[in-house]
Chain A
Amino acid sequence: QLQLQESGPGLVRPSETLSLTCTVSGGSISSSGYDWGWIRQPPGKGLEWIGCIFHSGTTYYSPSLKSRVTISADTSKNQLSLKVNSVTAADAALYYCVRRPVGYGADVWGQGTTVTV
């Protein structure tokens, strides 16, 4: 069964870089037909799509975050990573790693990891 597990520092200082890792088990991020992405949820608020990466390495980002975000994948470790530069209080959120079959919704979610700024 596919499982996603987010990890990373729970506390980041303003203006610094937020770095998170998502470890995938029970499946390969190299599989075609899926994108692997990040979604966040500020405390008490709604969901925000951050971006995604394909097995080819092609990435797509939210236009509102594009200038500060990088998503990458390490196929040897079966991990994705997320970096958000120049964080502010507005970046404090629960960050989810997700799998999305192309043409579908996100069908597998990690449990999420909380980041405080």
Chain B
Amino acid sequence: DIQMTQSPSTLSASVGDRVTITCRAGQSISTWLAWYQQKPGKAPKLLIYKASSLESGVPSRFSGSGSGTEFTLTISSLQPDDFATYYCQQYNSFSEGFSFGPGTKVDIK
């Protein structure tokens, strides 16, 4: 398994804030990384794939960057609908599995 870590585990922010979440992989995964948003009682929603490609229909305030072992998800101006938990997932190698990070909860400050 490729181990994934995320920081912080919880983030308190206000509407309008710029928010950055970091995801690190235990080994290089090139840009094979996705970001998801999950709200309570709902299935996760794909936001970003290939580290920096925005999924269709996702607001442009979301952006992703990084390659190798370090990645970031940035929300340029936090909106009320963005309070949720965010997960990264690597999909570098089928044989090693597509592991997820532990999640980052973004809540209201």
Q: Report which A residues bind B (CB closer than 8 A).
A: 46-49, 51-52, 60-64, 96, 100, 103-107, 109-112
19 additional A-B residue pairs with CB within 8 Å, beyond A49-B100, A104-B46, A111-B43: A46-B87, A46-B103, A49-B99, A51-B97, A52-B98, A60-B97, A62-B97, A62-B99, A63-B96, A100-B91, A103-B49, A105-B34, A105-B35, A105-B46, A105-B55, A106-B46, A109-B43, A110-B43, A112-B43
B95 touches A60 (CB 8 A): yes
A107 touches B46 (CB 8 A): yes
The yes or no answer to B1 lying at the interface (CB within 8 A) is: yes
Q: Are B1 and A62 in contact (CB under 8 A)?
A: yes
- Among B44, B50, B98, the residue within 8 A (CB) of A103 is B50
CB nearest to A66 among chain B residues: B97
Q: Are B50 and A47 in contact (CB under 8 A)?
A: no
Taking Cβ atoms with an 8 Å cutoff, the residues of B that contact A are 1, 32, 34-36, 38, 43-46, 48-50, 55, 87, 89, 91, 94-103
**Distance between Cα atoms of A35 and B28 in the complex (Å):** 23
By a CB distance below 8 angstroms, the chain A residues around B44 are 47, 96, 106, 109
Contact A64 B87 (CB under 8 A): no
Chain B residues within an 8 Å CB radius of A63? 1, 96-97
Closest to A35 in B: B94
Q: Report 21 cross-chain contacts, Cβ distance below 8 Å, ordered by A residue.
A: A46-B101, A47-B103, A48-B100, A49-B97, A49-B98, A60-B97, A62-B99, A63-B1, A63-B96, A63-B97, A64-B97, A104-B46, A104-B49, A104-B50, A105-B49, A105-B91, A106-B34, A106-B89, A109-B45, A110-B43, A112-B43
**A105, B55: Cα distance in complex, Å:** 9
Chain B contacts of A107 at CB under 8 A?
46, 55
Q: Which residues of B contact A48 (CB under 8 A)?
A: 100
Once the chains bind, are A47 and B46 in contact (CB under 8 Å)? no
In the complex, are the beta carbons of B100 and A47 less than 8 A apart? yes
Q: B97 near A105 (CB under 8 angstroms)? A: no
Shortest C-beta distance, A102 to chain B (Å), equals 9
